[in-house]
Amino acid sequence: MQAAGQSSAPEPRTAPRNVGAPRVEGETLGAGAAAGHRRVVLVAVSGMDRRALVATAFARSVPAMTRAVVHVSVDPQVGESLAIAWKGSPLGGEPLYIVDDAGGVAATLAAVTCDLLAADADEVLVVAGQLLMPGIRRRLLHDHTADAIARVVNPIARASAVLLPVAARR
């Protein structure tokens, strides 16, 4: 993932568009990372909600070379609306990347993770908020995207998914 005017890291297959602050892996972003350790923390978001708030706060607490927020664009209008809201939000301190859907949210995040590991990351941590809903409500109303992200990211060597519980409002 590369912002305009920055140097030569290979572009991921999923063609992200950075709409946040111009930051690039491996440049001046080493503050907070262990010496010589290149950890990238990706926060998966679908919108401006409590899951994004909890996941972003957690990501900021993890020492990393780079932190970025990723939205997989299934609907371009949703991505554009999120980009506008993100810039004016207190969450907007981390860059937001809109990534074109490449076979579903989980598969796309797995591809981005693999691309970052192939580029120069030692480790990639994918953070997502997961709604907590009891019983049948969860089965009927929840699309299980967070579960799918964990299923595809955790088997990747040097990658982990962290799912953070967020209580659903009644």
**Banded pLDDT at 151 (limits 50, 70, 90):** very high
10 Å CB burial of residue 61 (0-12, 13-18, 19+) is exposed
Whole-number CA gyration radius for the chain: 15
Q: Determine the average pLDDT of the residues in 62-75.
A: 90
Determine the pLDDT at residue 137: 54
pLDDT at site 157: 95
Mean pLDDT confidence for 76-100: 84
pTM of full prediction above 0.85: no
Confidence of residue 135 (pLDDT cuts 50, 70, 90): low
> Domains along the chain?
17-26+33-167 (3.40.50)
Q: What angle do CA 102, 125, 118 make, to 5 degrees?
A: 60
What is the percent of the chain with per-residue pLDDT over 90, rounded to a whole number?
A: 41
CB-based contact 149:114 (threshold 8 Å)? no
pLDDT at 24 over 50: no
CA distances from 119 to 79, 123, 124, 127, 164 (A): 26, 11, 11, 20, 27
